[in-house]
Structure 1
Amino acid sequence: MVVDPGQLRLLTLIERCGSLTAAAHALHLTPAAITQQVAKAERDWQVPLVIRGPRGATLTAAGALLASHGRTVEEASDKAAAELAALLGHLSLRLRIGTFQAAALHLLPPALTTLRHRHPDADVSVIDVGSARGADEISTGRLDVAIVASWGTPLAPPPHVRAHPLLLDPMVVVLPDDHPLATEQPTDTALHLEQLRDESWVSILAGHAAREQFHDAAREAGFTPTVRFETESYDVAQALVGTGIAVGLVSRLALTHAPGTTHRELAHPRPHRQLYALTKADASLTPLADMLIDLLRDVARDITASWEAPLREPHSPSAGHLLPEQPTTV
């Protein structure tokens, strides 16, 4: 026999109320509906359960036994409801974020500051996560939001992961500040990559998407770059450029203005990376995730405006622009 917990709870309610009519009122049902449910329970258990009389209803010995288990079902149901409410309350305040270095330094802090002012009781944590791992961290539930980058091609996350476009981050050339291309031309002059064909380069390590993008751009410009220094960090790359021994291609967002360096925009080819915030396709249990994404978009607009502002001089290319507002689910 398959036990119906609803029947156990009904018997508990009849015992507590003392009549079928009172039990019906408690359940917002008609007395006839309660009578039908009792009849079905007696058929299922194959034993009389309720004794109906002029003064109400009492339970048989079998009904009282089942009603005692109904009280256990009620207690378990109440406990489950309370624990779920506590969990949902915790999830509504929880926000676990993963991001890479440049976004952690320049994109995330203003958004988190505003979030903290709006929700001072928010339970926020941030960890370093490479862009290649972002979708997996969201899929497994270890993160609520992952800020990731895609070099040159649109991101294609799994179907249950949603990609929210944030901004387009162009690559710029970082030069020693005494380099002829820096000292002999106006600061708003955009460079062509082929002008740097004979330079020594510091680049991101081979195998990284940024390195592949760099080589593709150089190939399009008609040369194979001489890479003498490799690093995982744009910060290290800029520090090396500051020594005067190389030039580098660096994300605009990652510019540190290291001592001894300057930068110039690229005219063509103009590689870039796209920044996204990843969440689960259904993020309804973590409402702070949606709030953070709105704040990140606000920060992205401000950053993009700051890039474009000094480039409104004649002969200057646009420095960057926002991606479409519509989130992308693949």
Structure 2
Amino acid sequence: MDLDLRKVRYFVAVAELLHFGRAAERLHIAQPVLSRQIRALEKDLGTELFVRDSHGVTLTDAGRQLRDDARQLLDMADGTRRRVLRAARGPRRLVVGFRAGVVVTPALRAFAAGHPDVEGNARRVEWDDQERLILDGTVDVAFVRRPVREEGLELRPLYSEPRVAMLPDGHRLAGKQELSLADLDGETWLHYATPRPGALPIRTIEEKFECVAAGTAVTLVPRSVAEQYSRPDIAYVPVTDAEPDQVLLAWAAGRRSPLVTAFVEAAQSLG
């Protein structure tokens, strides 16, 4: 039995909203049609995905498993569609994602030297979309930072780099030559993907700058970020016992692409 991706998309809408009416509105279809499609999917799979009762809609164990797997499945299907359309349009193109602080120009130049007929483009990615943009085909390969959700990805470690504290310029520790994590005990922290007690959630490096400069919180950043982003109201101090930041190349697992292979080789050749 092959999964019907349209039914899977319908399922994801209901699984996210846990409400057939609101899911139907999101999908721009009638609720009875949506209900029939979900029933058909359950019949295809041979199991119930939702518990429907007077209290509402909840996921079964099978439904939770499909919800966890479906997003990756749909992202990969979208990626295939994008790459096919891109190939049909031509000319050949390689889109390389990168996180803040990562310099992609040397790798793109090394790749272009052997592939002058390929258009190479760079696109910034963030911590919360780096995996999705690879799987859905928005980027072909990306320089990512840990933590990384590895499902569906091939990963190739490139290098690690020290982390430094990002502090407001008037901070009590801003003039130090180096720090330890213990020196930062009691500070309010910013966080991306890995929460810590009392930390403030943010999404982009720009949000980090504004929060730190305002004295709201402190954070750690890779040394390359400190080297690339200088502001008079922010100080950077090395933290000797902070876990190094890891940079990896990532691309969709199982995808056979000579261009991605060539770019990975070019990036690794730079040492």
* TM-score computed with the length of structure 1 as normaliser: 0.45
The correspondence of residues 304-319 of structure 1 with structure 2, limited to 5 A, is: none
CA distance in 2, matches of 1:136, 1:244: 33
Partner-residue secondary structure (3-state), 2:173: helix
Pairing partner for 1:196 from 167, 173, 184: 184
1:96 — aligned with what? 95
CA distance in 2, matches of 1:244, 1:137: 33
- Residue identity in the other structure for 1:121: D
Pairing partner for 1:157 from 130, 151, 175: 151
Q: How far apart are 1:173 and its partner, in Å?
A: 0.9
Partner-residue secondary structure (3-state), 2:158: strand
The correspondence of residues 151-230 of structure 1 with structure 2, limited to 5 A, is: 151=147, 156-158=150-152, 161-183=153-175, 185=176, 187=177, 189=178, 191-201=179-189, 203-204=190-191, 208-209=192-193, 211-212=194-195, 215=196, 225=198, 227=199, 230=201
Instruction: Tell me if the contact between 2:155 and 2:250 (Cα under 8 Å) persists in the aligned partners.
Output: yes
* Structure 1 residue 296 corresponds to structure 2 residue 270: no
Query: Which ranges of structure 1 fall in alignment gaps of 5 or more residues?
Result: 1-86, 216-223, 302-330
Q: How far apart are 1:122 and its partner, in Å?
A: 0.9
Residues 176-222 of structure 1 deviation map (CA, whole Å, 9 limit, x = unaligned) = 33433233x4x2x3x12222223344x13xxx42x42xx2xxxxxxx
1:267 — aligned with what? 240
Aligned length: 182
Q: How far apart are 1:258 and its partner, in Å?
A: 1.9
Q: How far apart are 1:175 and its partner, in Å?
A: 2.0
Pairing partner for 1:277 from 249, 253, 256: 249
2:230 — aligned with what? 257
- Residue identity in the other structure for 1:149: R
CA distance in 2, matches of 1:277, 1:197: 33
2:218 — aligned with what? 247
1:60 — aligned with what? none
Based on CA coordinates, which of the two structures has the bigger radius of gyration?
Answer: 1
CA distance in 2, matches of 1:246, 1:143: 33
CA distance in 1, matches of 2:204, 2:136: 27
In structure 2, the CA distance between the partners of 1:179 and 1:124, relative to structure 1 (3 Å rule), is same
Residues 24-52 of structure 1 deviation map (CA, whole Å, 9 limit, x = unaligned) = xxxxxxxxxxxxxxxxxxxxxxxxxxxxx
Structure 1 vs Structure 2 CA RMSD: 3.3
In structure 2, the CA distance between the partners of 1:200 and 1:129, relative to structure 1 (3 Å rule), is closer
1:113 — aligned with what? 109
Q: How far apart are 1:272 and its partner, in Å?
A: 4.0
- Residue identity in the other structure for 2:112: R
Instruction: Tell me if the contact between 2:163 and 2:245 (Cα under 8 Å) persists in the aligned partners.
Output: yes
Partner-residue secondary structure (3-state), 1:112: helix
* TM-score computed with the length of structure 2 as normaliser: 0.53
Partner-residue secondary structure (3-state), 1:180: coil
CA distance in 2, matches of 1:138, 1:241: 30
CA distance in 1, matches of 2:136, 2:167: 42
CA distance in 1, matches of 2:149, 2:240: 24
* Structure 1 residue 237 corresponds to structure 2 residue 208: yes
Instruction: Tell me if the contact between 2:131 and 2:149 (Cα under 8 Å) persists in the aligned partners.
Output: no
CA distance in 1, matches of 2:130, 2:180: 33
In structure 2, the CA distance between the partners of 1:236 and 1:287, relative to structure 1 (3 Å rule), is same
CA distance in 1, matches of 2:253, 2:212: 42
Instruction: Tell me if the contact between 1:238 and 1:248 (Cα under 8 Å) persists in the aligned partners.
Output: no
Q: How far apart are 1:163 and its partner, in Å?
A: 1.1
Pairing partner for 1:123 from 119, 123, 142: 119
- Residue identity in the other structure for 1:157: E
CA distance in 1, matches of 2:169, 2:132: 41
In structure 2, the CA distance between the partners of 1:297 and 1:235, relative to structure 1 (3 Å rule), is farther
In structure 2, the CA distance between the partners of 1:241 and 1:119, relative to structure 1 (3 Å rule), is same
CA distance in 2, matches of 1:137, 1:230: 21
Pairing partner for 2:144 from 134, 144, 148: 148
